[in-house]
Each structure stands twice: as structure tokens, then as C-alpha cells.
Chains A and B, each alone.
Chain A
Amino acid sequence: MFPAPASRLTRLGSVSFRGLRCLSLFSSSDSSTTWSKVVSDAEKIVGYPTSFMSLRCLLSDELSNVAMHVRKLVGTQHPLLNTARGFVYDSKNNLQMRGLIVLLLSKAAGPSHASSDLLPQDMISGIYPSQRNLAEITELIHTAFLVHRGIVNLKEWTDSDGPLKDMEFGNKMAVLSGDFLLANACTGLAELNDTKVVELISSAIGDLVQGIYYESSCSAEESLCEGVDVASWEDQTFLSHGALLAKSCQAAMQLAKHDRDAQRQAYLYGKHLSLGHKLNSDLQPFVKSRLGEMTLFSLSAAPVVFHRQIIGNERWHQQLEEARTLRNQLDYTKLLAAVKSEKGVSSAVDLCRYHSNRALEAIQAFPSSEARSALENIASAVTKF
């Protein structure tokens, strides 16, 4: 429906938007300092430094090989480069947030009462080794898909974007390193000796793939995003951003043989926290942007979806046309103003608060503790803008 240049821009837009998402919560202003403090306080509770990602995996020949090859990509536009940079520059806060939450929940739920195989003295800082391994696995999977998200469709690449060879090479590296991380996650899962956990996490991987698949269909062809309402936005966002954390939290309870209810509440905490977190990052460009500053955002960001639902498709298309420049690109500043003029942003903020509250409710199922307060702080922090 839209001519190619527009969709290209959206694609690139969504790439940088992703970069933005990784950093947004923690950049400059108040919200970021809140978040950083919440996270670093929480890290102290689980007793380990932030490096959850399995060292065995990071130090393997295979990944050092990739690291060497990725250097060849410097100067190209392959997304793998940005993803790799992200590991270095932002390894502190966001990348390992999932692992951190799995650990905090494990600690909040405490020792097992149901199983005689699990001894309290095996716990380190109140967390079973298997739960620590699970936290690592969750991070491995998350990272694997950050990498696989950045695969480039070669046919969409034009000469003006840079040499095709670089993209082919970048893809090769991205496929291999993503697969390597996933494979390590699989062997790690097997070592947990709990087939229920394997099943849960495998299904989370399946969910994640479906979510990303949808996400990429959406950014490639805008027409597919037509008619996306808030309810389906939530469903999709759960798949792409929530399922892994929700199911990992549940699996952490399963590993300590906590009952179904504990598993359920852990799952809900993970689910609602993820959705709140995603809403927060989707909202950043709408609550932060200053005048005269060029802001890119995805057209499938929550405020835009709300906006579209509120004003109807017809008016939305009208606004899109109005925001189109002579060179057939979208004037994001204009579009941003249009979205801000209606209730889309405040509806998204409300939804963010709703999910934050649901996460807070879920965590009340666990006894009061330092770990639980950290989880509460994290859930509250997603509503700070």
C-alpha cells in the first residue's frame, strides 16, 4: 500500500527504535536513575555480579571466532554490529534484566518444602544452582533472538545501502551465533533434569519466534498491521516480549518444586512486568521528546496503536498522508504531534500502570522479604517516565 521508500524508512526506523528501546529506560532523566538504582540494588540481593551469561558459552572458540569476524562488519550497516555493541555498552541493565528477575523470584519464593532432593544448604544467597542456571539460559535465549532479529533480507537490500557481500556475511555470522546461543541454551536446559522445565522454556522459545515473526511481518509490510487493536497488540507483545520471562519465572518455581499457585503467580509477575516494561519503552518518544528534536518511533508502538484505534483508520491514513514529505518519507515530528494531540499516549500510560499493578499483586503471593521488595520496586519503576 505504501511505496517502498516509506516502508524502508519504517524498517530502519524500527531498527533504531529497537536500539532506543534498549537504552531508553536508562538514559539521562529521572526515570533512568530510578531504574538503575532499582536494578543495582536488586543485583546485590541475588549475590552475584551481573554476568549471568554462561561463561562457558561466551569464552567458547565459536563465539570468539564470531567476535573476530564481526570486526569485519565495522563500517557496514548490518544490524548484528549494533546488537554486538549493545552487549558491550549496555550489558549492565537491560540485557540481563530477565536473568535478574528470575533470580529475585527464586529467592523471594525461598527454599523448597516439597522435595527431599533439594537441600537448603545447596542454596547460594538463597537461590538453588539450577535456578541460577535457568537465569543464564533465559539470558542466552533472549540474546539469541536479539541476534536473529537482526537478520537482513538480502532482496530488500539495494546497492546504495552498501555492498551486498557485507550483508551476506553479517547474516551468516548472525545465524551462526544466534544458533550457537540457542544450542547452548538447549544443552543447559537438558542439564536441569526437569522435563517440565524443558517443555516450558521450549514453548517460550516458540512464542518468542511467533511474536518476532509477526513483528517483522508488521514492519516489512505496513498493511499487515492494519486493524491491529489494543487487545491484539497485547497478545502479540506478550509473545514477543513477555512469554520468555513469564515462563522462565514459572520454571524457576518448578525447579524448586513450589506448588502450582506459586508457579502461576510467578508467571503472572513475569508477564505483567514485561508488558509494563514494553509499554514504558514504547512511550519514551512520546513523553520525552523535546521540540526540534528528530524522534523516530515504530508505527506499531503502543501509543500509536491506541491512537489509531481512537481516531479510526480513515483519519489515521489521512494523518499519515499529511505527514508524508515530498520525498515520500514520513515526517515523524509531525506524526508525533498528531499522536500526542489525542488520547493515545494517556491510554498507553494507563495500560502501563495497569500492568505494573497486576505485577505488584502477583508478587504479594510470596512472603515479605528483601527480594520481594526489589521485585516490587522494579514493578513500580516501569511506570516512571
Chain B
Amino acid sequence: MAGSWWMSCRRFSTGFTTCGLSETLRCFIGRSPYSPASSTGRPFLSSAAGKEKKPLFPAQIHSKASHLIPSGIRHRSSLLYPTLQSCSCRTTHSDAKLRDPFTLAQKDLTSLYDDIKKELFVAKTELNYLCDYYFDGRGKAIRPIIVVLMARAMNIHSNRAGDLLPGQRTIAMISEMIHTASLVHDDVIDGSDERRGKRSINEVWGEKKAILAGDFILSAATKALARIGNCAVVKVLSQVIEDLVRGEFMQLGSKENENERFKHYLEKTYKKTASLMAHSCKAVSILVNSDPEVHEIAYQYGKNVGIAFQLVDDVLDFTSGAEQLGKPAAADLKLGLATGPVLFACQQFPELHAMIMRRFSSKGDVDRAWQYVLQSDGVQQTTYLAQRYCEEAIKQISRLQPSAERDALIRLTEIVLNRNK
């Protein structure tokens, strides 16, 4: 194989080749029967296609790299982030008022946690307490935010009023419940004793009750899902549950071959993180629109943002302090997981290969790997890749009719890229 796609990604970002990237990335980003990057029928982006491929990127990489050290400044400057300003889809609607996605989504999410607690109500008080434990309003609730924004954007696109349909509101709730249920199980699998700044359920109540609490949250989510009464929606979201488990299984194994390893990593990322966002977005679109091409836009947005979200998460595992992320730094390495930054770093430091294969289990592996990653441009490469996924997400969502919510979803990609926790 003459240079894997991600190796060309590497070359590209260091400024040598410019043509290989869009081709190779297209294999991963946004491959769909309806909307490949090269598709001609893009109603709102027709002038943008060529422009996007122009080599703006090396500059971005550098500006990006300088922002990698976590700082308060980065957060504020994200409002004027140059990448997205130069992005064509933004300029087409430059008059559209930029609105903060969090504020915009808020009105639909005021009762989110109360609604979830109602779903989880059981007579047994201790089980109740366990299930409510993480729905304390301290989570980012990024999934429900995306879902309600997508729902409103879809409703407007489908020539309706923006207001949420009851089923769409339920899907926002379910997305957070499924996510939380999987966190509870992940903490048992990983033996984590902390989550969102507090002791994990398994740490306080033991592994067995934690697993049961996770199962209970999941059952409450599928019950709520069934009550929406739409078979297609049930199918779409039950796929997520399967993906989450398959993703967790993928995390058990590692691949010898580097190219396969990266593919494996991205597929795992899709299954563990992006599938939930992608399918929840798709589900809210199904409830209001019957056009599969429209469903695909929703799906692709969620998928691309989801992968970007996880890539940034993996970067933060190296760059963020423990207090910001709510979990210890280098947590992934300690769990034996080789994420994006390590896989990229392995290109520069082949010494990492053996460590990856033994899952950083020898003494000193974690520290050495950490050093290699920071010396390499693995962090930049991963961030860069996340940016590409966000661009694809923007491209997809821009095919919808303009609305404040659609623009908020575009804005949200910046927040995903620039978050420091």
C-alpha cells in the first residue's frame, strides 16, 4: 500500500502534499450513498466545494498547535476562531446571527434531568438513588443539546415550526440516558473510581450494583423509546446499544499492523462515541421528515461531530490537567489504550509500537509513551483530524435550510474543537 491515508494526512499537515488528503479522508469522513464530499447536488454549498480543498491548513495547524496548551484565553477566542470564519458555509450566511448553542438549546432542556428521574422512578429507594446519581446536572449534556438543536433545525427544514415534537424531546432524554448507562458500565470495566468529580458508583456501592444500575437506566431508556411508538426510531436507537458494546469489545484487542490499527481506532471511536450522536440525530429527523437523504444529513452531522468530539477527548487526555477533565491525565495510557495521539506519535517514534502491543503494561511504559507523544506532533495531528471531521459535519448540516439552530450546530463544532474539558 503506497502510504496509508493517514500517513498522507501527516504529510499534508506538515505542508508537503496537498492533493492526497481530501481523497484519502473522504474514505473515512462522510462516505455515504447520499452525500459524498464530491456530490454535486448540494443545495446550499454549491460554491464552496472547491474552496474548501485549498491549502489553508498548514497555517491552521500552527495556530491550532499554539492553542494546545490549555488556557482560559482559548475558550474566549473560540468565538472568533479563524478556521470557521474562513469557512465558506459561514460566509454564505454571514448575516445570520451567531448564537450560542447552549443558550439556544436551553429552553428545550430545562426539565431534562427531572424527566429522566421520572423515567427512573422505582420503589426501591437505594436503586433510585444510584440511578439518579449521575443525573445531577453536572454533566455537559452535549448529546441532548445536539439532539434538540438538530430536531429544531430539521423541523424548520421540513417547513414546520421549530418547536420540538414530544418524541424528539424524548430522544434527547434517551440519548443522555444511554450515554450514562454506558458510562456506569465502562467505569466497572475500567475500574475507575472517579467520574465527573465524584466517586464512581462502583466505588461507592460495589461493582454488582453498579452494573444493575446501568442495566436499569438502559431498560428505562428503551421503555421510553418504545413509547414514542415509531418502529424506525426504535431500530435506529437500538443499533446504538449494540454499537456501544461492540466498541467496548474492540477496545479489548489491538492490531499488529499500523494501518489496521488506525482503522480499528476510528471504528471503535465511531461505535463508542459517534454512533449515539449520529443515530439520535437521525432519529429526530425521522420523526419529522420522510426523506432518507435528509436523515442521512442528520446522521452524517452526528457521526462527524461525534468522532471529532472523541478525538478531542483523546487529545485532552494528554494536554489537560486532571482537574479539568474530571479524570486523571493519561487515563487511556494507564488503561492500555492507544488513542490517536499515540498512534500518530508511533509514526515518528517506532519504539512506541512494542509498547502499544503490550498495552503499556511494562514498568515505565506509560511515562515513556507520554513523553514520546508530547515530543511528537501526535497531538497536533489528532487535533487536525478532528478539525477535518468538524468541517465535514459543517458541510453536511449546511445543506439544511438556514435557521438559528442550524447555525448553532455549526457553532457547536467550534466548541467541540476548542473545549478544554
A213 part of interface (Cβ distance < 8 Å): yes
CB pair A199–B227 under 8 Å, yes or no, is yes
| Chain B residues within 8 Å of A212, by CB | 212
A contact residues, total (Cβ < 8 Å): 44
Cβ distance B121 to chain A, nearest Cβ, rounded Å: 11
B276 part of interface (Cβ distance < 8 Å): no
From A155, A187, A206, give the contact of B241 (CB < 8 A): A187
From A194, A195, A198, A213, give the contact of B212 (CB < 8 A): A213
Closest to A207 in B: B219
**B245-253, B326-334, B344-352: which lies at the interface:** B245-253
CB pair A171–B207 under 8 Å, yes or no, is yes
A29 part of interface (Cβ distance < 8 Å): no
B interface residue count range (under 10 / 10 to 19 / 20 to 34 / 35 or more): 35 or more
CB pair A184–B220 under 8 Å, yes or no, is no
B208 part of interface (Cβ distance < 8 Å): yes
B15 part of interface (Cβ distance < 8 Å): no
| Chain A residues within 8 Å of B253, by CB | 65
CB pair B238–A187 under 8 Å, yes or no, is yes
Complex CA–CA separation, A210 to B125 (angstroms)? 11
0/1 interface trace, chain A 219-254, chain B, CB 8 Å (1 if under): 000000000000000000000000000000000000
Complex CA–CA separation, A179 to B251 (angstroms)? 15
| Chain A residues within 8 Å of B209, by CB | 213, 216-217
CB pair A206–B216 under 8 Å, yes or no, is yes
Cβ distance A91 to chain B, nearest Cβ, rounded Å: 23
Known: A198-B226, A202-B222. A176 touches B249 (CB 8 A): yes
Query: Which 7 pairs show the lowest CB-CB distances between chains A and B?
Result: A199-B226, A153-B206, A198-B226, A205-B219, A206-B219, A190-B238, A202-B222
CB pair A186–B241 under 8 Å, yes or no, is yes
Cβ distance A149 to chain B, nearest Cβ, rounded Å: 8
Cβ distance B218 to chain A, nearest Cβ, rounded Å: 7
Complex CA–CA separation, A171 to B191 (angstroms)? 10
- List, sorted by A's number, 10 A–B pairs whose CB atoms are closer than 8 Å: A65-B252, A65-B253, A151-B207, A156-B206, A183-B244, A189-B222, A196-B226, A198-B234, A202-B219, A216-B208
B124 part of interface (Cβ distance < 8 Å): yes
0/1 interface trace, chain A 287-304, chain B, CB 8 Å (1 if under): 000000000000000000
B235 part of interface (Cβ distance < 8 Å): yes
From A178, A184, A190, give the contact of B235 (CB < 8 A): A190
CB pair A180–B249 under 8 Å, yes or no, is yes
| Chain B residues within 8 Å of A198, by CB | 222, 225-226, 234
CB pair B206–A175 under 8 Å, yes or no, is no
CB pair A205–B207 under 8 Å, yes or no, is no
| Chain A residues within 8 Å of B213, by CB | 213
| Chain B residues within 8 Å of A175, by CB | 185, 188-189, 211
CB pair A210–B185 under 8 Å, yes or no, is no
Closest to A151 in B: B208
- With A65-B252, A206-B223, A216-B212 already in contact, 16 other A-B pairs whose C-beta atoms are closer than 8 Å: A151-B208, A151-B211, A175-B211, A176-B248, A180-B245, A180-B246, A186-B241, A187-B239, A187-B242, A195-B229, A198-B234, A199-B227, A205-B218, A206-B219, A209-B215, A209-B216
Cβ distance A82 to chain B, nearest Cβ, rounded Å: 15
Residue with the greatest number of chain B CB neighbours at <10 A, chosen from A145, A172, A176, A186: A186
CB pair B207–A179 under 8 Å, yes or no, is no
Contacting residues of chain A (141-173) with chain B, CB-CB under 8 angstroms: 145, 148, 151-156, 168, 171-172
Complex CA–CA separation, A206 to B234 (angstroms)? 17
Show the binding face of B for A, using Cβ within 8 Å. 122-124, 126-127, 185, 188-189, 191, 206-209, 211-213, 215-216, 218-220, 222-223, 225-231, 234-235, 238-239, 241-242, 244-246, 248-249, 252-253
Known: A171-B207, A179-B248. A202 touches B226 (CB 8 A): yes
Q: Is the interface of B mostly helix, strand, loop or mixed?
A: helix
Cβ distance B186 to chain A, nearest Cβ, rounded Å: 9
A368 part of interface (Cβ distance < 8 Å): no
CB pair B218–A182 under 8 Å, yes or no, is yes
CB pair B252–A171 under 8 Å, yes or no, is no
| Chain A residues within 8 Å of B235, by CB | 187, 190-191
A193 part of interface (Cβ distance < 8 Å): yes
| Chain A residues within 8 Å of B252, by CB | 65, 176
From A152, A195, A199, give the contact of B230 (CB < 8 A): A195
From A62, A148, A209, A217, give the contact of B249 (CB < 8 A): A62
CB pair A179–B227 under 8 Å, yes or no, is no
| Chain B residues within 8 Å of A193, by CB | 231
Residue with the greatest number of chain A CB neighbours at <10 A, chosen from B185, B238, B248: B238
A33 part of interface (Cβ distance < 8 Å): no
From B124, B127, B222, B246, give the contact of A186 (CB < 8 A): B222
A385 part of interface (Cβ distance < 8 Å): no
CB pair B234–A210 under 8 Å, yes or no, is no
Complex CA–CA separation, A202 to B238 (angstroms)? 12
CB pair B249–A65 under 8 Å, yes or no, is yes
A316 part of interface (Cβ distance < 8 Å): no
Complex CA–CA separation, A276 to B234 (angstroms)? 35
CB pair A210–B216 under 8 Å, yes or no, is yes
| Chain B residues within 8 Å of A194, by CB | 231
Cβ distance B292 to chain A, nearest Cβ, rounded Å: 18
Known: A62-B245, A151-B208, A202-B222. A190 touches B216 (CB 8 A): no
Closest to A193 in B: B231
Cβ distance B285 to chain A, nearest Cβ, rounded Å: 18
CB pair B212–A184 under 8 Å, yes or no, is no
Complex CA–CA separation, A200 to B238 (angstroms)? 15
CB pair A154–B212 under 8 Å, yes or no, is no
Complex CA–CA separation, A45 to B126 (angstroms)? 45
| Chain A residues within 8 Å of B127, by CB | 209-210, 213
CB pair B124–A209 under 8 Å, yes or no, is no
Cβ distance A151 to chain B, nearest Cβ, rounded Å: 4
CB pair A210–B208 under 8 Å, yes or no, is no
A40 part of interface (Cβ distance < 8 Å): no
Known: A172-B189, A195-B229. A206 touches B220 (CB 8 A): yes
